[in-house]
Amino acid sequence: MNKVIEAINVCKTFGEQRVSKNIDLAVSQGNIYGLLGPNGAGKTTLIRMLSTITQPDSGEILFKGEPLKEIHAQQMGYMPEERGLYKKMTVADQLLFFAELRGLSTKDAKASVKHWLQRLDMMDWARKKVEEISKGMAQKVQFVSCVLHNPQLLILDEPFSGFDPVNADLIKDLIIELKNQGTSIIFSTHRMDNVESLCDHLAIIHQGEKVLDGGVSDIRRKYAKGIYEVGYYQSVQWNAGMSAAGESTLISEQQQSDGKVVYRFQTSESFTPEQLLKLAMGKGNLVHFSEHVPSIHEIFVDTVSKTAEPKTGVPIPDKLEKSNLITI
Amino acid sequence: MKNIFVIFKREYLTRVKNKTFIIMTFLAPLLMVGFYAATIYIATETGDDDRTKTVYVSDNNPELLLSHNPPANYVLLPAPSDSDSALAHVERGLVHAWLNVEDRDLRSVDSATYYTSETPSITEKETLKEWIRNKATQRQFARLGLREGQIDSLQSSCNLATKEVTGQGDVKESSSGLKSGIGFALAFMIYIFIFVYGSMVMRSAMEEKTNRIVEVIVSSVKPFDLMMGKILGVAAVGLTQFVAWIVLAVGLVFGISALFLNSGNGTTTREAVQTGIEARNGMGGMDTGSGTSSGAAVSMGGDMSAQGSGMTSGARDMAAEFTEPLSNLPYFQILAVFLLFFIGGYLLYSSFFAAIGSAVNQESDVQQFMMPVTLPLVFGFVIAQTVALKAPHGAMAKLFSMIPLTSPIVMVVRAPFGVPLSELALSFGLLVLTFVLMVWLSGRIYRIGILSYGKKPTWKDLWKWLR
Q: Could you read off the pLDDT of B8-46 as tens digits, one per residue?
A: 999 999 889 888 888 888 887 788 778 878 887 887 766
User: What does the pLDDT read at residue A319?
Assistant: 37
Q: Over range A105-125, report the average pLDDT.
A: 91
A73 and chain B in contact, CB less than 8 A: yes
| Residue B258 vs residues A145, B253, B270, B301: alpha-carbon distances, Å | 53, 9, 10, 21
Closest CB to A145 among B18, B207, B216: B216
Q: Over range A287-291, report the average pLDDT.
A: 90
User: What does the pLDDT read at residue A326?
Assistant: 54
Of the candidates B361, B391, B356, the residue with the CA atom closest to the CA atom of residue B371: B356
| Residue A69 vs residues A146, B207, B221, B225: alpha-carbon distances, Å | 19, 28, 12, 16
B213 and chain A in contact, CB less than 8 A: yes
The complex's ipTM works out to 0.75
- A83 and B14 within 8 Å at the Cβ level: the answer is no
- Tell me the one-letter amino acid at A78: Y
* CA–CA distance, B327 with B245 (Å, rounded to integer): 22
Share of chain A above pLDDT 70, in %: 91
* CA–CA distance, B164 with B173 (Å, rounded to integer): 6
* CA–CA distance, B386 with B83 (Å, rounded to integer): 47
A176-204 pLDDT, tens digit each: 999 999 999 998 887 777 788 888 998 98
Q: Over range A113-142, report the average pLDDT.
A: 89
Closest CB to B219 among A73, A86, A100: A73
User: What does the pLDDT read at residue B440?
Assistant: 85
User: What does the pLDDT read at residue B30?
Assistant: 81
pLDDT band at A310 (very low <50, low <70, confident <90, very high): very low
Ranges of chain B whose pLDDT falls below 70? 45-49, 59-68, 103-110, 148, 164, 166-175, 260-329, 388
Of the candidates A31, A81, A22, the residue with the CA atom closest to the CA atom of residue A51: A81
Of the candidates A1, A19, A18, A21, the residue with the CA atom closest to the CA atom of residue A9: A21
Q: Which helix (H) or strand (E) holds B230?
A: helix B223-262
Share of chain B above pLDDT 90, in %: 8
- A82 and B451 within 8 Å at the Cβ level: the answer is no
Cβ distance B253 to B276 under 8 Å?
Answer: yes
User: What does the pLDDT read at residue A5?
Assistant: 93
> Does residue A91 surpass a pLDDT of 90?
yes
User: What does the pLDDT read at residue B63?
Assistant: 60
Chain A closest-CA separation from residue B359 CA (Å)? 17
- B215 and A87 within 8 Å at the Cβ level: the answer is no
Higher pLDDT, A75 or B261: A75
> Does residue A266 surpass a pLDDT of 70?
yes
Domain ranges of chain A: 3-220, 225-292+294-327
pLDDT band at A232 (very low <50, low <70, confident <90, very high): very high
DSSP B324-349: HHHHHS-HHHHHHHHHHHHHHHHHHH
Chain A closest-CA separation from residue B227 CA (Å)? 14
Domain ranges of chain B: 2-41+176-466, 53-148
Strand-pair category, B163-165 with A58-63: unpaired
Q: What is the CATH number of domain B53-148?
A: 3.40.190.10
User: What does the pLDDT read at residue A112?
Assistant: 94
Q: What is the CATH number of domain A3-220?
A: 3.40.50.300
Q: Over range A126-132, report the average pLDDT.
A: 91
User: What does the pLDDT read at residue A100?
Assistant: 92
A53 and chain B in contact, CB less than 8 A: yes
